[in-house]
Amino acid sequence: MVYSKDNSLTVFASELLISAVPLTILAYLAGSVSAAILVCRAMHLEDPRTSGSGNPGATNVLRLGGKLPAALTLLGDAMKGFLPVIIAMMITDHAPTIALVALAAFLGHLYPVFFNFEGGKGVATALGAVLAIDLSVGALALLTWLAVSLTFRRSSLAALVSFLLIPVYLLFDNQTVFAATFAIIAAFLFYTHRANIQRLIEGSEPTIGNR
């Protein structure tokens, strides 16, 4: 799907004030809701920020509480990216606005205003956003993750490769605005995974199922 591009300054300013600003703020606030922390509190588990790996994400919740709380966390994090983008697409077809919403939800997860700006790594939220924008690209990303994870047994490597390729997939679909947005998201993901990257280089990154 290719969204409309209007070069009119007046139309752009109107779009910015009416749709982009409020939708972006709401997306950031939605992203700031930490599924991991809320699930752990509801299920009387340890705080994921201070236990396990210290990362408030599904993988750490799996360590702390098992499959059910981890699945709920994964779903919640993905919905933080998916729902704001879907709502934005129902309101506007302006690609830059939708891209800003996706980026805001992602950054809300990384730097949540409700939790002292200390969030997770962002993979599930970013995946939710790309699935909303283009289901086929999201499916390709999931297939990429599956292929890399089955080959190398490293979840972090699979995530990094998948998000490195998402901008390429979007470019092939002539979605340049979203390709640029997900290139930015990929850069943030490499930053949030810097410890994982170091362990991958050293050969000490845990394999899937051995955490």
- Report the distance separating Cα 57 and Cα 74, nearest Å: 7
The partner residues of 4 in beta bridges, in order of sequence, read 94
Taking the domains of the chain in order of start, what are their residue ranges?
Answer: 9-202
Q: What is the pTM assigned to this prediction?
A: 0.89
State CA 181 to chain mean position distance.
12
- Mark out the alpha helices in the chain (DSSP H runs): 9-15, 21-31, 35-42, 58-65, 67-91, 95-110, 123-133, 135-152, 155-172, 176-192, 194-202
Round to whole Å and give the CA distance between 44 and 40. 6
Digitized pLDDT (tens) for each residue of the chain, 211 residues in all: 444 545 555 665 666 667 888 999 999 999 999 999 999 999 999 999 998 888 898 888 988 999 999 999 999 999 999 999 999 999 999 899 999 999 999 999 999 999 999 899 999 999 999 999 999 999 999 999 999 999 998 989 999 999 999 999 999 999 999 999 999 999 999 999 999 999 999 999 888 766 5
Q: Are 155 and 200 in contact (CB under 8 A)?
A: no
